[in-house]
Structure 1
Amino acid sequence: MKWNSYISKKYRNNTDILNEIIENFDSLGEIIFQERNTLRKIPHPVLGNLAVKSFKKPHLLNQLVYANFRKSKAHRSYFHAEILTSKGLNTPEPIGFFEEIHNFKIKRSFYFSKYSEYDFTFRELIEKRNSFDDWELILKEFVSFVFSIHENHILFKDLSPGNVLIKNDQEKNAYLFSLIDLNRMSFQSLSLDQRLQNFIRLSLTDEMIPIIAKEYAKYSHENVNFTMEQLYKKNNKFIEKKERKKKIKKLLGKNV
């Protein structure tokens, strides 16, 4: 058994602390999220509040692939976070990643970052729309943030409601947006079609689409009506696809 790891220069003197957290991961802090992967908020007297993600052990083929041919999710999460921060795009401060390799297969992997305080997620903009007096302003500032991501030739493939943290920065009189769950990204020049498609996993409401379309058209110098038409079309297609999947799952459930 061996461990592969990479730790940010700022935290390399704290390697023993990080190893100790891995050893005691299941009993430390509080669970933020637990499904396939487990995310814990872990307070530490030296490092402060940490967000530590333990990735689910892959199936056998991917154990071999991630250990020998492809970067693991923990590896990608760390270096994608480094890329975002280098371009001035917000994400919780990356600390490092660890991979446990045994018999040429990956067994466990962890991604460490600082825990980022936030006020709400994009999901709450959808589900609690009437709770926000400045709902439209938040949405417009979010579009500006996404445009900045795209202009940096970044396609964040998991741009979904739970992966956008939002904080009201009263000193700057602005809303700050931060991305999490970063392992799926690509880096390339993006067409308008790719850029608009990138919004669709956010579960946009009909009320959101005109605002997003107008703002994005303003920044990208595209035709507003065309941009809005494309967003509606893509969003409707996404909704139809989700409904089909639900029906198929329901049918399969009945047949089991």
Structure 2
Amino acid sequence: MSIIIHSKYKSKEEAILQLVANFFNEGEMIVEGTRNTIKSNFLADEKVNIKFFQKPGIFKSIIYSFFRSTKAKRSFDYANYLLDHDILTPFPIAYIENRSSLGLLKDSYYICQQIDYDFTIRELIHNPLFPERNLILEQFAAFTFKMHEAKVNFLDHSPGNTLVVKKDSGKYEFYLIDLNRMKFENLSIEERMDNFKKMWLSKTMVKVVAKAYAKLSNQPEEKLQAILLDKTTQFKRKITKKKYLKRKIGRK
């Protein structure tokens, strides 16, 4: 086992290890997936989230052991990068990797602070009457612009991966979660608009986001609207086609 702990939590190493040791017997279930499981628990008097990454198949185990960082390490490193660039995400506490005697990855854990959020972008997307919907979309566009300016290409930039906290006076804070798929690179304006495609924006929302992003990027609003609408439409068609084919194959 190897454990990396943020400097602010070094004194709590024993308690962190205890949380991981008791992961399957304690804590509140948040997500129970086939590959990953997330639980909440308490580290002293602080509520934290623990994400368990199951043992990968032999091929991926070799990749993660010798050629690529594990999902737990990436989650930790990427969270630190985001916070260093003033992009909000739950504070990274530690990550743990279990390996075999040959050095092959078995399973891993990522521990971070829990955020008490009000809603995710998903609720906003699916409810046209959501309070202050356009205002939130404008601020979300500004948040994404800031992310892009920091050279962050968040590959899982989808509605469920942004937590929203309502502050006073119509101000909202946005927190990125599920961080292990990112690239750090300069993004063209077309690539920036492409990064919104998984948000499943309606035509009305496309107009709001494009207008807000145009003001910040000094790009023509009409140009961004056209690109964003095209990227969104293509993505929706692709997903719809996949679902149709799955249903058709399932009937056979």
Relative to the length of structure 1, the TM-score reads 0.94
One-letter amino acid of the structure 2 residue matched with residue 10 of structure 1? K
1:139-170 CA distance string (max 9 Å, x none)? 10110100000011111111111100000112
Task: Determine the structure 2 residue equivalent to 1:81.
Answer: 79
Of 184, 189, 194, which aligns to 1:192? 189
What is the identity percentage for the equivalent residue pairs of Structure 1 and Structure 2? 34
State the SS of the aligned residue for 2:172: strand
Task: Determine the structure 2 residue equivalent to 1:112.
Answer: 111
Paired residues, number: 250
1:111-152 CA distance string (max 9 Å, x none)? 0001011000000001233131x1111110110100000011
1:58-80 CA distance string (max 9 Å, x none)? 11101111112210000000000
1:71-124 CA distance string (max 9 Å, x none)? 000000000000001111100010010000003221110000010110000000
Of 12, 15, 25, which aligns to 1:14? 12
What is the CA distance between 1:5 and its match in structure 2?
Answer: 2.0
Task: Determine the structure 1 residue equivalent to 2:153.
Answer: 155
Structure 1 segment 89-108 matched on structure 2, within 5 A: 89-102=87-100, 103-108=102-107
Separation (CA, whole Å) in 2 of partners of 1:154 and 1:229: 23
Deviates more, 1:25-34 or 1:185-194: 25-34
Separation (CA, whole Å) in 2 of partners of 1:26 and 1:161: 29
Structure 1 segment 232-247 matched on structure 2, within 5 A: 232-247=229-244
Task: Determine the structure 2 residue equivalent to 1:181.
Answer: 178
Task: Determine the structure 2 residue equivalent to 1:251.
Answer: 248
One-letter amino acid of the structure 2 residue matched with residue 115 of structure 1? Q
Q: Is 1:29 matched with 2:27?
A: yes
One-letter amino acid of the structure 1 residue matched with residue 104 of structure 2? K
State the SS of the aligned residue for 1:130: coil
Q: Which runs of 5+ in 2 are unaligned?
A: none
State the SS of the aligned residue for 1:27: coil
Structure 1 segment 202-221 matched on structure 2, within 5 A: 202-221=199-218
What is the CA distance between 1:47 and its match in structure 2?
Answer: 4.8
CA RMSD of aligned residues (A): 1.2
1:42-70 CA distance string (max 9 Å, x none)? 123x2510011001221110111111221
Separation (CA, whole Å) in 2 of partners of 1:218 and 1:131: 24
Separation (CA, whole Å) in 2 of partners of 1:206 and 1:57: 41
One-letter amino acid of the structure 1 residue matched with residue 157 of structure 2? L
Task: Determine the structure 1 residue equivalent to 2:162.
Answer: 164
Separation (CA, whole Å) in 2 of partners of 1:23 and 1:150: 38
Separation (CA, whole Å) in 2 of partners of 1:213 and 1:131: 19
Task: Determine the structure 2 residue equivalent to 1:55.
Answer: 53
Separation (CA, whole Å) in 2 of partners of 1:91 and 1:189: 21
Q: Which runs of 5+ in 1 are unaligned?
A: none
Relative to the length of structure 2, the TM-score reads 0.96
State the SS of the aligned residue for 1:131: coil
What is the CA distance between 1:27 and its match in structure 2?
Answer: 1.9
Task: Determine the structure 2 residue equivalent to 1:38.
Answer: 37
Q: Which stretches of structure 1, 4 residues or more, deviate above 2 A after TM superposition?
A: none
